[in-house]
A and B are shown apart, each in its own frame.
Chain A
Amino acid sequence: MRISPTKFISLLFLALSVFYLYTAYNIQVFAFDENAPFNARTFPIYLGWAGIILSSLKIILPEKITTEVNHKHLDYKSIIYLIIVSLIYAAVILKIGYFISTSLFLFASYYFLGERRWGLMFILSFPFVAAFMYLLHGLLNIYLRDPFLKYIGVMG
């Protein structure tokens, strides 16, 4: 039996709702609040049941409109590269600082999306990020934490 992607997503949502409901019932409330008309559990419990009912209906009822997606036309390669680059960016941003990590992230993203004009790629990464940081930090007075630039004395 072939299950449609929409029904598969609904099945995942059903599983999420069951887990959410289980967690909601296990929320620790104060003893005096246990039998109150409303406590920290009440709203999540309603939501858990709502999720179960809606996703079950979506699974049970026949699909009126089916959403067809042609996977051959989807650019999985670029999206996977972009996500990996973004995850690396998130992992190193605190360690090597905003300026270097962001500039490298932009440079790598341009590269993985097929850009090869090195000069333009450089301008739209390192000087661009520096100008943006100046706009935020210097002109708009928005604090931008960058331990590396602070260490080398560029930022106060």
Chain B
Amino acid sequence: MIEGILIGLSTALSLTNILMVMVGCFAGTIIGMLPGLGPMTAIALMIPITYGFDPSTGLILMAGVYYGAVFGGSTSSILLNAPGIPGTVATAFDGYPMAQQGKAGKALAIAAYSSFAGGTISAIFLLVAAPSLSKVSLAFRSPDYFALMILGLTAISAFSSKGQFLKAMMMVVLGLMLATVGQDSLSDITRFTFNNMNLTDGISFVLIVMATFAMSEALTIIFRGKDPNRAAKQISLTELGSIKVNKEETIKMAKTIPRSSILGFLIGVLPGAGATIASFLAYGMERNYVNEEEKQKFGKGSVHGLSAPETANNAACSGSFVPLLTLGIPGSGTTAVMLGALLGFGIQPGPRLYQTNPEIFWSVIMSMYIGMVVLLILNLPLIPYIARILAVPRNYLIPLILFFSVTGIYLMSFNNFDIFLMIGIAVVATFLRLYDFPMPPLILAFVLGGLMEETLRRSLLISDGSPNFLWDRPITLIILLITITIVGWQIFSTFRKKN
């Protein structure tokens, strides 16, 4: 492992890669601050820029963007009570009251220190857990993988559906349907192409991500008449005050950070769950842990209440890389985008990544840590200035997002059919968003579609067409039972609310 860490460090500490982490953290912070634009959009917009990079550099840039976007989301939560991303909603509960008391700088510092500590602890967990899990996951067979993907898709539907599970499951099926367009990987038979040569190779992943996130988020902002740069203007005008944290506050943070880190990391590892659930659970758990006097301060600017969700959401970000790096199965929409990017580089993540491409495996892990340092040292003091960059009027911001989306697709294929297709999918996605049909399950399903068909094919061929493979192996059975429990819980909660 020490050798791996050194390989990772030497790759991550090259001048280009340090620069990429810094650029990624800045770009992520800027995009994450904008209400409506989250880490998935931020990463998607970076994809065209990474075409010319080697895989480690591209992934390091994306990891930096991911962390930066989460940090940016916290900033708008604390200063404006307008979370940039769902994972930082709980941060606003105590961060915003603290800012209103004239302690905005302190709240941002607590959030940054907590994020740093949460990210650091979870990066250590990742260092230890990922190689061990890689070895364990070598024991996984096709039926287990198939069951695991079903679990991942069910879980992301349950967690991202805002109580509308069926809508999320419909999006999963739509994502899988889109993934079947083009040549069948084994027989080369073309499916659902309707004799259109442009569809023979299937629909590109970048096209789907750009259409359902970058482009449709931009169109939604226009559609709803939102003005995201208003938030940035307000942040740039906010008096932050001192960013110093006193001894008493440090002690409070020191108590909160370890337990929230563990919780956040474990939640992040679970397929489908992520920063949002981790931050809410950590907030709730912290409230139960503290004494009665501290409990009264929750919602009014409590240090515990701010530190817990911030620690947990960053820890969950690192945790979400565990299934991606060890099983090759992303647990969240954001890591699904990163999986797509990895596949674009010609790298298949999974248990063998650890052996075949150790420099990528370790450099991504190490760059997360470097990203944390960049966020703490560079981004925190620069928040008001970053916000000033952000104060680009909506009239310029939206066309620029559309421009990046179209360029990303044009660079890939140099044909206009893909651009037409992207516009069409983006328009449909915009209307679906309007009626709360979630997009992350669609992306995850699209990314996993090919692998899912492959594992189902192998499982059915081995069992000679019998469905026995679903319960023959204990691992498969356990994973499917968990899936059934999630579905059962969704049905139960639906009826409970109705009554």
Interface residues of B in 444-499 (CB under 8 A from A): 452-453, 456-457, 460-461, 463-465, 494, 497-498
Size category of the binding interface on chain B: 35 or more
Is the Cβ of B163 less than 8 Å from the Cβ of A65?
yes
The answer to the question of B284 belonging to the interface, with a C-beta cut-off of 8 Å to chain A, is: no
A42 and B187 alpha carbons, distance in the complex (Å): 13
Inter-subunit contact A44/B180 (CB<8 Å): yes
Contact of B222 among A44, A75, A110 (CB under 8 A): A75
How many of chain A's residues touch chain B, expressed as a range?
35 or more
| Contact pattern, A 61-80, Cβ under 8 Å of B = 1, otherwise 0 | 11011010100011110110
User: Which residues of chain A are within 8 angstroms of B224 by Cβ–Cβ distance?
Assistant: 73-75
Counting residue pairs across A and B whose Cβ atoms lie within 8 Å, the total is 178
- The CA of A55 and the CA of B162, in the complex, are separated in Å by 18
Contact A82 B402 (CB under 8 A): yes
Q: Which residues of B contact A110 (CB under 8 A)?
A: 395-396, 399
Chain B interface, >50% SS class: helix
User: Does A150 interact with chain B (Cβ within 8 Å)?
Assistant: no
Q: Assess whether A106 is in contact with B403, with CB atoms less than 8 Å apart.
A: yes
Determine the residue in chain B with the shortest Cβ distance to A132: B407
Contact residues in B for A65 (Cβ distance below 8 Å): 162-164
Q: Kindly state whether residue B7 has any CB partner on chain A within 8 Å.
A: no
Q: Which of B31-56 contact A (CB under 8 A)?
A: 48-49, 51-53
> Is B173 interfacial (CB 8 A cutoff)?
yes
CB neighbours (8 Å) of B174 from chain A are 13, 51
Known A9-B437, A38-B456, A144-B411; contact A90-B177, beta-carbon cutoff 8 A:
no
Q: Is A131 an interface residue when CB atoms closer than 8 A count as contact?
A: no
Q: Which residue of A lies closest to B176 (CB)?
A: A47
Known contacts being A6-B435, A51-B173, A73-B224, is A106 close to B192, with CB within 8 Å?
A: no
List residues of A whose CB falls within 8 A of some B CB. 5-6, 9-10, 13, 16-17, 20, 23-24, 27-30, 33, 36-40, 42-44, 47, 50-51, 54-55, 57-58, 61-62, 64-65, 67, 69, 73-76, 78-79, 82-83, 86-87, 89-91, 93-94, 98, 102, 105-106, 109-110, 113-115, 120, 124, 132, 136, 140-145
Q: Given contacts A82-B219, A90-B423, could you give 20 more A-B pairs where the C-beta distance is less than 8 Å?
A: A16-B177, A23-B192, A24-B191, A40-B187, A43-B457, A51-B173, A51-B177, A58-B166, A74-B223, A79-B222, A79-B223, A86-B402, A90-B406, A93-B410, A93-B416, A113-B398, A114-B395, A115-B395, A115-B396, A132-B407
The 10 closest A-B pairs by CB, nearest first: A37-B465, A109-B399, A90-B419, A113-B395, A40-B184, A140-B52, A115-B395, A43-B453, A142-B52, A40-B189
